[in-house]
Amino acid sequence: MKFSDLVQKLGSTTFDLASDPEITSVSAIEAAQPHSLSYIEGIKFAAQIATTSASALVLPLDPTLQTQATERGIAWIADPIPRKAFAESIALFYQPFRPSPQIHPTAVIDPSVQLGQEVAIGAHVVIEAGVKIGDRVCIYPNVVIYPGVVIGDRTVLHANCTIHERSQIGADCIIQSGAVIGAEGFGFVPVPEGWFKMQQSGYVVIEDQVEVGCNSTIDRPALDTTRIGRGTKIDNLVHIAHGCQIGEHCIMAGQVGLAGAVTVGNRVIMAGQVGIVDHVKIGDGAIASAKAGVHHDVAAGAVVTGIPAISHKLFVKSTAVFNRLPEMYQSLRQIQKQLGIERKV
């Protein structure tokens, strides 16, 4: 693809075609070869413009960087969010494999299933009674869908995932391989003989544009609904227990775990391996750092760290002292000695 074609496809208005190079690949800046397109996120990566072998760059709206690229004869486009423009460029060179919109003869589909237009259903898929599948849905091999599930338009279900009864998945979602949606929440009543199972009669609702990572699990509750808000992205091996209410456009990184009935606002970010105790409420825009264990409600916009999680700032300060505790202990002993205090510690 000529660079000028790329500029046109991205709809860029700020650019320098230079020699209008042929672009054959996209690449990280360090690994870039001639004929590849790469990107620079901001001024602090300026030095890389001087050395990269890329033939073209996506740049931020920064005249200094643009001049620098022009002087090296590198073609460029500029964008207020260069990372997004670069992501759009990747999509011009690579689209993930999608099967053709056909139903494989080995798929087992109950006669009552309602299929939309141009649906792709892979080999050995099983779809039980009463399921409704929207238009242009893509279901990869060996997926199992329990009775009554609803799948919105253009949603993709990757191989070997399982969608249980009482689940509703919106449009434009991606459910990655091995994910399990709508299985029975972990609800048991302690009784003298052990644990009495509470049937999980509630629902899972996944709104539009949600992504659920590989082998992640989202359980249905005994009553009411587990809900994942529009645009929320969930990474691999995440556990969302029965009755959680997750807002819109949240990010949950790998191995995050939410206990039952957690409420999460919009645009919340949870880093890897965060755990949230049951019934906790997390305000809009809050951030939980990697491995945080959140036992109490978190205010909107707060950043929390540690187990139990406290303000990130306090955690950093206290941790700095934690690492000097052996010396502090010695100092305290010395003071006690000097003051003739009989020591407790």
Binding to its own copies, residues 259-288 (CB under 8 A): 259, 271-273, 275, 277
From 10-18, 55-63, 66-74, 303-311, give the range in contact with its own copies by CB under 8 A. Answer: 303-311
100 contact partners, CB below 8 Å, separation of at least 6: 120
295 binds its own copies (CB under 8 A): yes
On the question of a cis peptide bond just before residue 221, with omega within 30 degrees of 0, the verdict is no
Identify the residue among 136, 154, 164, 227 touching its own copies (CB under 8 A): 164
> H-helix or E-strand containing 174?
strand 174-175
Supply 38's token pair: 């790469």
Closest separation between CB of residue 71 and its own copies, Å?
A: 26
Query: Which of the residues 124, 158, 242, 312 is marked catalytic?
Result: 242
Binding to its own copies, residues 320-339 (CB under 8 A): 320-332, 334-336, 338-339
Distance CA 114, CA 135 (A): 10
Q: Which of 77, 277, 214 is nearest to 292 (CA)?
A: 277
Question: Is the Cβ–Cβ distance between 309 and 291 less than 8 Å?
Answer: no
124 among known catalytic residues = no
Residue 210 to residues 166, 252, 289, Cα–Cα distance (Å): 18, 11, 22
Closest separation between CB of residue 129 and its own copies, Å?
A: 9
Report the residue number, 72 or 83, with the smaller CB distance to its own copies.
83
Question: Is the Cβ–Cβ distance between 168 and 175 less than 8 Å?
Answer: no
Binding to its own copies, residues 46-75 (CB under 8 A): none
154 binds its own copies (CB under 8 A): no
Total chain residues near its own copies (CB under 8 A):
124
Binding to its own copies, residues 13-42 (CB under 8 A): 26-28, 31
Would you give the DSSP letter of residue 42? S
Report the residue number, 16 or 292, with the smaller CB distance to its own copies.
292
Identify the residue among 23, 236, 265, 286 touching its own copies (CB under 8 A): 236
Identify the residue among 35, 72, 124, 281 touching its own copies (CB under 8 A): 124
From 1-9, 44-52, 69-77, 302-310, give the range in contact with its own copies by CB under 8 A. Answer: 302-310
Considering only the C-alpha atoms of the chain, give the largest distance between any 2 of them, rounded to a whole number of Å.
88
> Which residues belong to the active site?
242
